[in-house]
Chain A
């Protein structure tokens, strides 16, 4: 079983839709959770960083962590064509290496 699993997509949604992106992980010791957005020909850009179960909101983005289920989600409200990118989840155990999901490619259609 891979340490982090993520549906690779592609996921296509109409503009204005609510997007839900998800990752599951296997190691309950993981403590820190991140979401990155990567545009074509660019490096990953940090979107959200959290370490506790529950929700964290930043503008149109909400990160949700459920440690009991080992499940993390990123919600995008009022999605825009500019949100079209690959979204990577990343998980960290204190003092250890980051583990990245394979990424979900999202297309928001105008």
Chain B
């Protein structure tokens, strides 16, 4: 079974631009979550989608948004990029049950200059 796939692996953007990251979950997984990982803050939860609906949201500004498609694939968008948005963005999927563990992709490394 293929794992979680994230594209692209690396991105370099300049301040003020916007970016879209893509995630394909493990086949059969309907829940997709997004996390931001930085050396200082660790893993921080952005949001979770289940069956195209946002189920949970972390404490990030509205510049961070996401969506999920009917095939469970998900995209995350960051508008008006700031230098502090430089991070590893991780997508994770899990099975339907609320006690299922997360399975992560290898992330998209975003650098904002």
Contact = CB atoms under 8 A, between A and B. Distances in A.
B103 interface: yes
A31 interface: yes
A90 B98 contact: no
Contact of B43 (A31, A94, A100): A100
Q: Would you call the interface of chain B mostly helix, strand, loop, or mixed?
A: strand
B99 A88 contact: no
Given A43-B90, A51-B99, A97 B45 contact: yes
A45 B102 CA distance: 9
Interface string A68-105: 00000000000000000000101010110110111100
Q: How large is the interface on A (under 10, 10 to 19, 20 to 34, 35 or more residues)?
A: 20 to 34
Interface of A: 31-32, 34, 36, 41-46, 49, 51, 88, 90, 92, 94-95, 97-98, 100-103
Contacts of B98: 94-95
Q: How large is the interface on B (under 10, 10 to 19, 20 to 34, 35 or more residues)?
A: 20 to 34
A70 B92 CA distance: 26
A42 B106 contact: yes
A98 B99 contact: no
B43 A43 contact: no
9 contacts: A32-B101, A34-B102, A41-B109, A43-B92, A43-B104, A46-B103, A97-B58, A98-B45, A100-B42
Contacts of B99: 31-32, 51, 92, 94
B50 to A, nearest CB: 12
A90 B106 contact: no
Identify the interface centre among A32, A100, A103: most chain B CB within 10 Å of its CB.
Answer: A100
B101 A49 contact: yes
A6 B45 CA distance: 18
A43 B106 contact: yes
Interface string B46-86: 00100000001010000000000000000000000000000
B104 A102 contact: no
B32 interface: no
